[in-house]
Amino acid sequence: MAQSNKHQSHFAFEQVLSQNASTPTIPPLPTQFSQVRKDIKLPNTPKASTARDAPREAFTKGPGSYSGTNSKARRNLPLPRKGSPWDTYRKEFSCDLAGDAAVVVHRTDPSKVLLLRSFPGDIAEKVLQWLNQLQHPNIMGAKMCYSAENSLYALCEDLPLTLEHLIVCGARLTEVQLSAILSQILDALSYLAAEGFEHRSVKSSNVLMGLDGVVKIGYLQDIHSQSQTQDQTNTLKALETITMELMGGTAGMNDVKQWPLDSDAVTFLLATASVGGSVGELRKHRLITKYADSKGELIGLARFALISARTFYSYP
């Protein structure tokens, strides 16, 4: 009898969600994600353009040149250094972390791990502009840049996880952990909207996470200018998908003990599907406002994801 009630409750949730959404509900997250552990590998992220292919080739190229910056960008980074970053840094291995990245250490002082990302000439100027102009603690930044082989190399901090790792490892998030993640994403998206921009590829594989619980939106090449009066339907749809994935997909929503229908997590999910909603309104939701800075709640979760999930890599 209890099992029957549980499924009836989930059916009621799906019905409410479909009534509030302007588009059909997202496909259910495969339940096998919560059953597989040690041998699972993250799925390939669909490649919308050649932007993700180019960096893998650029990591093997020698010195060259890069020219061009946007004169309107705020100069928060020094001009890119001419020459190859491989003269200074040594690659330990490559992996996919919101795009191809090389995990590197300094050749003479290998005491700190960094991520080196490469952007080909057709998007290098755009990425350099965003690295200079967009300064926010929840948006991926760079410590310095190099120019070689008509490519831009950005030396970034070590963020070893994405939200996709958390989803695939099958961890059962608490409400405060869900809030800690979503609040940081909302802060970044709100900042972008205020600056007149939109990130058009907000998904779990493009949202980075550090072992300290800091969450940052990556894959800057998919940031585009947007009118501040333009609706945020696509952004809200992306948030709906990420939220439901973090809550465990269909399997997670069936667990009404973890996510009761009247819980703040469920009402937040419904709000992402509401017609005419906005990022600003979501930031005022009780799920976000009732917890203070709670990044520390993510530290143990990050460690578990790092140990239990695997990603695509090449070594050395």
Nearest CA to 145 among 160, 165, 125?
A: 125
Tell me where in the chain the CATH 3.30.200.20 domain(s) lie: 53-156
Residue limits of CATH 1.10.510.10 in the chain: 2-43+161-309
Tokens standing for residue 96: 């996919």
Q: What is the dihedral of CA 145, 157, 312, 185, to 10 degrees?
A: -110
Token pair 């998908």 is found at 241
pLDDT at residue number 313: 75
Count of other CB atoms within 10 angstroms of residue 35? 10
Q: Which of 191, 198, 211, 205 has the alpha carbon at shortest distance from 42? A: 205
Decide which of 3.40.50.720, 3.10.580.10, 3.30.200.20, 3.40.50.10420 is the CATH code for 53-156. Answer: 3.30.200.20
Answer yes or no: are the C-beta atoms of 58 and 120 closer than 8 Å: yes
**Interval 187-241: pLDDT, tens:** 999 999 999 999 999 999 999 999 999 999 999 999 999 877 678 999 999 999 9
Which tokens in the block code for residue 152? 């831009």
* pLDDT computed for residue 19 by the predictor: 52
Which parts of the chain have pLDDT scores under 50?
A: 1-13, 16, 20-75
Contact between 41 and 311 (Cβ < 8 Å): yes
pTM for this prediction: 0.77
Q: pLDDT at position 37, please?
A: 33
- What pLDDT, in 10s, does the model give residues 69-97? 333 444 467 689 999 999 999 999 999 99
Helix (H) or strand (E) run with residue 237 in it: helix 233-246
CATH class, 2-43+161-309 region: mainly alpha
